Amino acid sequence: MPLVFAGVTSHAPGITGRADQADPELKHGFRDALGHMREALEASKSDVLVVVAAEHFANFFFNNMPAYSMGMADFYDGPIEDENWLGIQRVRIPGNADLSDRMIRSIMNYTDLGYAQEWKFDHGIMVPLHFLTPDFKLPVIPVNINCQCPPLTPLHRTYEFGRALRKACDSVPERVAIVGTGGISHWPATPDSGKVNVQWDNDFLERWKNNDREALLSYSDEETYRDAGQGGFEIRTFIAISGATEGVTGDVWYYEPIPIYAVGCTVGVVNGFDE
Amino acid sequence: MSLYYLQKLFYELNRNETLQVEFRANQEQVLDAFELTGEEREAVLLGNIGLLYVLGVNGQLLMHYAAFCGLAWPDYIQAMRDGITKYGQVRAGLYAMTDGKGAI
């Protein structure tokens, strides 16, 4: 089946772990946008949700760090973090190992990636699922792009990974939805936590909305680090979605910095998948 | 400096509840399995979040150890800022501070 849904959103642990410390208007505005995203995802009647995430040393460490990896299990557990710290109870989430196998084989025709038959979800996947599939019943296939520790995959490779992911989605009979999740500019878990470069974020989101490949791929990691912090490396998750929806524009349904969440909270959906 | 092993300790501790129990019972014994410098070992034993940050521990690992040590989020952020003040700039790893003021 052709891809049935594509979007992007934030995943910062403060969104659930420090939920009530935010300005109530901002908190509810963001959650309302996530609710609309959930409705759109549900309307797509997807059989599976592929979450393109940027995990934070939950499964992958400096001893063996793949640039790209995809889950290939029939279930996943999460959150790996303390439940009270994250504000999400531990739960088992269904996967689909057979579908993962077929998609991985398809992707490998175009780009290399690792696979994992065990994967504990951290906030990078659990926070989006908490809002998008709150009963945790929809099967999920996790994808990780190393956005935490350089050397990092180049942005043009990320776009190509997205294109390969799209070919895989279109090659299987299941209805596949994809969501990329990461921060734009942010400095999470550092003394600069809460800082957001709104101008940089808006400029990036403009490029993302237009699926302007050249503009999206024009950042150097040095520029991103300088202007958007180490958290800005997670733009790779958004760019992968752009690659998967090449030539198609998107809309940003919500963007507001919520400092206590340590990120500019974002909901974006790619057009044309709701027809 | 053996930042790799220092971060590996937190990677293992964050994801392994059995190790967390062992660590609470006998920190010295758990640390013996990791090749740490004296400064790194002492920072862990004292729960010195500020020094651990300056030594280069990634915040995505350190924030969980801070919570494990009982620090609330604002206290974790402040501990890193205090560490910078006391020990100077981050010595290794990914981070260089900007103004360190953030939003909280």
The DSSP secondary structure of A229-263, one letter per residue, reads: TGGGGGHHHHHHHHHHTTT--EEEEEEEEEGGGTE
Residue A159's H or E segment, with its range, is helix A155-171
Interatomic CA distance for residues A244 and A273, integer angstroms: 12
Confidence of residue A156 (pLDDT cuts 50, 70, 90): very high
> A192, B14: Cβ pair inside 8 Å?
no
pLDDT at B1 exceeding the cut of 60? no
**Interchain CB distance below 8 Å, B7 and A62:** yes
Residue B103 banded pLDDT, cuts 50, 70, 90: low
DSSP summary character for residue A20: G
Q: Is B103 part of a structural domain of the chain?
A: no
Query: Which of A56, A150, A194 has the CB atom closest to B104's CB atom?
Result: A194
List the single residue in A190, A229, A260 with the smallest CB-CB distance to B80: A190
Residue B46 has pLDDT above 70, yes or no: yes
Structure tokens belonging to residue A213? 């490949």
Crossing angle for the helix pair B17-25 and B3-15, nearest 10 degrees? 110
Q: Give the whole-angstrom CA distance, residue B58 versus residue B54.
A: 10
Phi and psi based region of residue A138 (left: phi greater than 0; alpha: psi -120 to 50; beta: remaining): beta
Range of the domain at B56: 3-87
Q: Which domain holds residue A199?
A: 5-270
Domain contains B17: yes
Q: What is the DSSP string of B41-102?
A: HHHHHTT-HHHHHHTT--HHHHHHHHHHTT--HHHHHHHHHHHHHHH-S--SSS---SSS--
- Taking the CA of residue A263 and the nearest CA in chain B, the distance in Å comes to 11
Tell whether the model's pLDDT for residue A213 goes beyond 60: yes
The CA distance from A222 to A138, in Å, is: 38
Whether the pLDDT of residue B97 is over 70: the answer is: no
State residue A46's pLDDT score.
97
Backbone φ and ψ for A144, nearest 5 degrees, come out as: -120, 135
How far apart, in whole angstroms, are the C-alpha atoms of residue A185 and residue A103? Answer: 31
Q: Which residues of B touch A148 (CB under 8 A)?
A: 58, 60
Q: Mind listing the pLDDT tens digit for each residue in A99-115?
A: 999 999 999 999 999 99
At A163, which helix (H) or strand (E)? helix A155-171
On whether residue A109 sits in a domain, the answer given is yes
Q: What are phi and psi of A63, to 5 degrees?
A: -75, -20
Q: Which has the higher per-residue pLDDT, B94 or A86?
A: A86
The pLDDT value given to residue A185: 96
To the nearest whole number, what is the mean pLDDT of chain A? Answer: 96
3-state secondary structure of A228: helix
Q: Do A148 and B14 touch (CB under 8 A)?
A: no
| Number of folded domains that form chain B | 1
Residues on chain A touching B14 (C-beta within 8 angstroms): 57-58, 80-81
**Mean per-residue pLDDT for A5-30?**
96
Burial of residue B22 (number of CB atoms within 10 Å: 0-12, 13-18, 19+): middle
**Residue of A18, A61, A191 lying closest to B80 (CB–CB):** A191
Rounded to 10 degrees, the C-alpha dihedral A90/A95/A97/A99 comes to -160
Q: Which CATH number fits the domain that encloses residue B11?
A: 1.10.700.10
B8-13 long-range contacts, CB within 8 A, separation 24+: B8/A61, B8/A62, B8/A63, B8/B34, B9/B34, B9/B36, B9/B44, B10/B57, B10/B61, B10/B62, B10/B64, B10/B65, B11/A57, B11/A61, B11/B61, B13/B64, B13/B65, B13/B68
Domain count, chain A: 1
Q: Which residue of A has its CA nearest to B70?
A: A85
Contacts of A260 in chain B (CB under 8 A): 103-104
| Residue A273 pLDDT > 90 | no
Say whether residue A184 is in contact with chain B using an 8 A CB cutoff: no
Judge whether A275 lies within some domain. Answer: no
CATH code for the domain of A170: 3.40.830.10
Tell me which residues of chain B have a C-beta less than 8 Å from any C-beta of chain A. 4, 7-8, 11, 14-15, 53, 58-64, 67-68, 73, 77, 80-81, 84, 94-95, 97-104
| Burial of A30: CB neighbours in 10 Å, binned 0-12, 13-18, 19+ | buried
Q: What is the ipTM of this complex?
A: 0.90
